[in-house]
């Protein structure tokens, strides 16, 4: 069968049977177009959050939410499919990565025009949220929003050209307006006045506000029943279980409302949902916050001609204007009760409001909305391919040869106590025990690995490393470092080093907590440690700056932490001014260990503080370090058998993985602070040192074991694969992977 060029559309979305409003929306849109177009040939690329998800037609390809390679593979699948246009449904939480930035890996590789429907637009996004959504809009040839306020936010906050934006309503079923009394018997509720709230349950729905309004209502009309129809949102259930629903049930019991509230704890499919809408006398959306740009449940209720009481979130203000519903202040149960009672007392006003809502809803029915989407998909002047910045295209392809991020060796080196320092080949060497330094480094790695994804094995590792670091902290906030295999702290420890490393690891957990429940006690450990800053060593000061930067990602207005960061940065500046003379642009009289950590710290400080000397010295010292480690072809780091003293010669061996990792992080920070693309290219060259792009052309990372050699030595590699070298590789890999998503977003916005 020959496929009509206009017939095939690829939909990227969550999809049924997933319990998700976006999944239902996509299914309804497909069915609406199918009902109008005989030759329509849709298929779905579904994003699944659960491994157990099972799909049927029209799903042709599914993406595991947190697997980056799946996004690239999906793009290739779509490019070679019969599709001529892509319909993307975007909502925060559907896609993996930092604020869904894995999606950019897919979009950058597509060779088809994209129509993106935005189900959420934030008025005060984080930097990452803004950059991700801005690039999605750049790549899309049309961006669909469902409210007028969405248009103004896209233009004002995200700089999206107005001519690219299309206003289309949320589709709704074309239901008749009926007498609710004719449908109540289906639920055994004949003779009751039904107030309905339906949809996935979460705290922001404000259901308790409606429950607290009921005593005044039922005292006047005892027939009233409040039906809460729907299951707890799957994402909420993962973290909080049924805590919110149980709190609502307790509130019902406390108020003596057991005969007046029904919790219908089922994921309601469309036919049953229609019956509930037909049976309801009132529909209530008592949401707690204004920042809600669309609501499928509110649209459905309006389209079926319900009498609606709502708080004034953005979408409700637009949809219920001109007497199509009533708005009440947020959290005001008394106002909810008064408005419902007024309508119960005035049947004429009740019916007039219902008619206004139903008449307006005719513009939003799926047959009309589907026809408008189909017209949009077939715009005759749509571009063959949206222009994407060259740097983004180059990096989208080069990411393919990155090794996968595997934690096999990290798991191998970890027991119930913590991460063992050393290994003989890949076998843990228990003689040397553990140290706070390595467990803090590991804490940073797994915290970054865990962000925006739930992985039970990695969370287990995080808890082990966090437990080790917290146990190593003394009552005064300082840290012990070395622990023997028989679990005894070994003296002496290195003053300051363990503390600054711990601040780095704890800061990463604060920036990327698996759940908010981690924040209070991790913050307490961090604050007690930070009271001992600054430490004496320059590298300790640098690690502290990195940890304080993490802290500020979570608590951005912490002025005391900003001050502490500046104190540490000023100490690095002072060291540079004291030691740098002529062409020796460095903080010390020799290049030694983890050199790149020092300019990296000043690049980080420059992003937070307006002090110009931070960026100026960071650029100078970064260039100086590169001049001694990069020969224009590959990196050759300062060896630990002699280092590089002022006026002396550089030791070529042994080169340690921590130097490569530090250089990768420094160059990424340099790009973030300056926007200079050459730093990104050098960053990848520094990472490729692990893969064999070095003076000996020997890979340092072992693809088979997942471990990393402890050094590049004169005769090859040190085959032992200890903790520090492994963590260096993992830090570098995560950094480079991240650069192919969020940092391309930055480059596209500059």
Helix, strand and coil percent figures for the chain, each rounded to 5: 50, 15, 35
10 neighbors 83 (Cβ within 8 angstroms): yes
The number of CA neighbours under 13 Å toward the Cβ of 2 is 2
CATH fold group of domain 8-171+370-388: Rossmann fold (3.40.50)
- Which pLDDT belongs to residue 494? 53
Assess contact for 224 and 265: CB atoms under 8 A: no
Report the relative pairing of strands 420-424 and 427-435 from DSSP bridges.
antiparallel
Query: pLDDT at residue 113 above 60?
Result: yes
- pLDDT tens digits along 389-437: 434 434 433 444 578 888 999 999 999 999 999 999 999 999 989 999 9
What span, in angstroms and rounded, lies between the C-alpha atoms of 637 and 658? 10
Which of 89-103, 325-339, 561-575 shows the lowest mean pLDDT across its residues? 89-103
Q: Is the dihedral of CA 557, 560, 565, 570 positive or negative?
A: positive
**Residue 457, both tokens:** 């094995």
**Summary count for the chain: helices (H), strands (E):** 28, 21
CA dist 533 and 529 (Å) reads 8
Mean pLDDT of all residues in 491-510? 83
> How do residues 276-295 score in pLDDT, each as one tens digit?
989 999 999 999 998 888 88
Segment among 101-105, 383-387, 540-544 with least mean pLDDT: 383-387
- DSSP letter, residue 479: B
| CB 283 within 8 Å of CB 265 | no
Sequence-ordered strand ranges (E) for 70-202: 85-90, 114-118, 142-145, 165-167, 193-198
**Span between the terminal Cα atoms of the chain, in Å:** 46
Alpha-carbon distance of 70 to 62, in angstroms, equals: 8
**Alpha carbon distance 649, 652 (integer Å):** 9
Instruction: Give span(s): CATH 1.50.10.10, the chain.
Output: 392-749
Residue 590 confidence (pLDDT) above 50: yes
Confidence category of residue 382, pLDDT binned at 50, 70, 90: low
With CA atoms as reference, report the closest residue to 440 among 476, 480, 408, 401: 480
Q: What are phi and psi of 397, to 5 degrees?
A: -85, -40
Q: Which residues contact 329 (CB under 8 A, 6 or more apart)?
A: 311, 312, 335
Look at the block and give the residue holding tokens 């340099």: 670
pLDDT value of residue 379: 85
CB of 261 closer than 8 Å to CB of 214: yes
- CA contacts within 13 A on the Cβ side of 578: 9
Distance CA 400, CA 69 (A): 8
Numbered ranges of CATH 3.40.50.2000 in the chain: 8-171+370-388, 180-364
Strands (E), 529-626: 590-591
SS3 63: strand
Burial category of 269 from C-beta neighbours within 10 Å (exposed 0-12, middle 13-18, buried 19 and up): exposed
User: 180-364: which CATH number, 2.150.10.10, 3.40.50.2300, 3.20.20.150, 3.40.50.2000?
Assistant: 3.40.50.2000
**C-alpha span between 727 and 658 (Å, rounded):** 8
61 versus 491: the higher-pLDDT residue is: 61
* Neighbouring-strand partners of residue 83: none
DSSP state of 724: H
Residue 738 has a pLDDT of 78
CA-to-CA distance for 552 and 558, rounded, in angstroms?
Answer: 7
pLDDT exceeds cutoff 70 at 662: yes
Please provide the size of the chain in residues.
750
Paired residues of 59 in beta bridges: 44
Q: What percent of the chain has pLDDT over 90?
A: 68
Q: Taking Cα atoms as reference points, which of 368, 360, 224, 371 lies closest to residue 304?
A: 360
**How remote is the C-alpha of 463 from its chain's centroid?**
21
- 728: Cα separation from own chain's centroid: 24
Whole-angstrom Cα distance, residue 645 to residue 173? 76
Give the side-chain half-sphere CA count within 13 A for 710: 13
Fold of 392-749: Glycosyltransferase (1.50.10)
CA distances for 482 relative to 468, 490, 656, angstroms: 11, 5, 21
Q: Which residue has the tokens 């669909």?
A: 144
Q: Among candidates 279, 66, 100, 104, which has minimal Cα distance to 185?
A: 279
Task: Round to whole Å and give the CA distance between 177 and 154.
Answer: 35
CA distance 553 to 548: 9
Q: Note whether 683 and 653 are within 8 A (CB).
A: no
Q: What is the mean pLDDT of the chain?
A: 89
pLDDT at residue 164, as a whole number: 94
């Amino acid at each position: 069968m020959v496929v009509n060029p206009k017939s095939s559309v690829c939909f990227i979305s969550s999809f049924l049977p997933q319990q998700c409003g976006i999944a239902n929306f996509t299914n309804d849109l497909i069915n609406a177009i199918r009902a109008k177009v005989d030759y329509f040939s849709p298929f779905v690329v579904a994003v699944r959050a659960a491994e157990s998800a099972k799909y049927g037609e029209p799903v042709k390809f599914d993406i595991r939410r947190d697997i980056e390679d799946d996004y690239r593979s999906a793009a290739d699948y779509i490019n070679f499919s019969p599709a001529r246009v892509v319909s993307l449904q975007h909502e925060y939480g559907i896609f993996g990565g930092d604020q869904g930035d894995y999606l950019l890996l897919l979009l950058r590789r597509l060779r088809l025009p994209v129509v993106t429907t935005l189900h959420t637009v934030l008025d005060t996004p984080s930097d990452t949220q803004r950059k991700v959504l801005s690039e999605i809009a750049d790549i899309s040839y049309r961006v669909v929003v469902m409210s007028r306020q969405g248009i103004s936010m896209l233009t004002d906050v995200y700089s999206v050209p107005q001519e690219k934006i299309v206003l289309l309503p949320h589709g709704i079923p074309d239901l008749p307006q009926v007498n609710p009394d004719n449908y109540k018997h289906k639920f055994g509720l004949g003779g009751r006045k039904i107030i309905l709230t339906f949809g996935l349950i979460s705290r922001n729905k404000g259901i308790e506000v409606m429950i607290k309004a009921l005593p005044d209502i039922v005292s006047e009309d005892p027939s009233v029943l409040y039906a809460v129809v729907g299951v707890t949102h799957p994402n909420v259930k993962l973290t909080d279980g049924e805590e919110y629903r149980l709190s609502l049930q307790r509130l019902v019991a406390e108020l003596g409302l057991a005969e007046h509230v029904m919790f219908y704890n089922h994921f309601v499919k469309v036919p049953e949902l229609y019956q509930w809408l037909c049976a309801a006398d009132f529909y209530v959306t008592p949401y707690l916050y204004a920042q809600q740009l669309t609501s499928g449940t509110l649209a459905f209720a309006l389209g079926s001609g319900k009498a609606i009481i709502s708080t004034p979130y953005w979408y409700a203000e637009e949809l219920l204007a001109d007497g199509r519903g009533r708005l009440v202040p947020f959290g005001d149960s008394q106002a909810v009760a008064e408005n419902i009672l007024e309508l119960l007392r005035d049947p004429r006003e009740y019916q007039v409001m219902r008619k206004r809502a139903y008449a307006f809803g005719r513009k939003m029915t799926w047959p009309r909305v589907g026809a408008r989407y189909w017209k949009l998909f077939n715009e005759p002047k749509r571009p063959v391919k949206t222009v994407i910045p060259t740097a983004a295209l180059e990096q989208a392809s080069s990411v393919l040869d990155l090794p996968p991020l595997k934690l096999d060796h990290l798991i191998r080196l970890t027991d119930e106590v913590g991460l063992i320092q050393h290994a003989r080949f890949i076998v843990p060497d228990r003689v040397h025990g553990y140290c706070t330094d390595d467990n803090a480094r590991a804490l940073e790695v797994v915290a970054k690995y865990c962000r925006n994804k739930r992985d039970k094995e990695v969370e287990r590792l995080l808890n082990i490393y966090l437990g080790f670091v917290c146990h190593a902290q003394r009552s005064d906030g300082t840290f012990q470092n070395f622990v023997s295999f028989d679990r005894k702290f070994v003296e002496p420890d290195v003053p300051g080093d363990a503390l600054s490393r711990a601040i780095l690891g704890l800061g990463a957990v604060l920036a990327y907590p698996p759940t908010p429940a981690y924040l209070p006690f991790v913050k307490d450990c961090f604050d007690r440690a930070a009271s001992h800053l600054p430490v004496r060593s320059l590298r300790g000061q640098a690690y502290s700056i990195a940890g304080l930067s993490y802290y500020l990602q979570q608590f951005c207005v912490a002025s005391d932490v900003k001050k502490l960061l500046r104190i540490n940065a000023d100490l690095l500046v002072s060291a540079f001014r004291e030691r740098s003379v002529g062409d020796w642009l460095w903080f010390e009289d020799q290049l030694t260990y983890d050199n790149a950590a020092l300019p990296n710290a000043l690049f980080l400080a420059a992003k937070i503080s307006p002090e110009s000397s931070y960026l100026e010295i960071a650029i100078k010292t970064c260039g100086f370090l590169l001049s001694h480690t990069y020969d224009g072809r590959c990196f050759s780091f300062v060896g630990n058998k002699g280092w590089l003293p002022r006026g002396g010669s550089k030791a070529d061996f042994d080169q340690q993985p921590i130097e490569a990792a530090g250089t990768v992080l420094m160059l990424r920070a340099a790009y973030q602070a300056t926007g200079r693309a050459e730093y990104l290219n050098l960053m990848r060259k520094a990472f490729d040192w692990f893969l064999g792009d070095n003076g000996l052309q020997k890979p340092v990372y072992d693809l088979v074991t997942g471990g990393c050699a402890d050094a590049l030595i004169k005769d090859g590699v040190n085959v032992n694969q200890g903790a520090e070298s492994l963590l260096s590789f993992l830090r570098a890999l995560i950094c480079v992977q991240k650069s192919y998503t969020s940092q391309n977003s930055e480059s596209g916005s500059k």
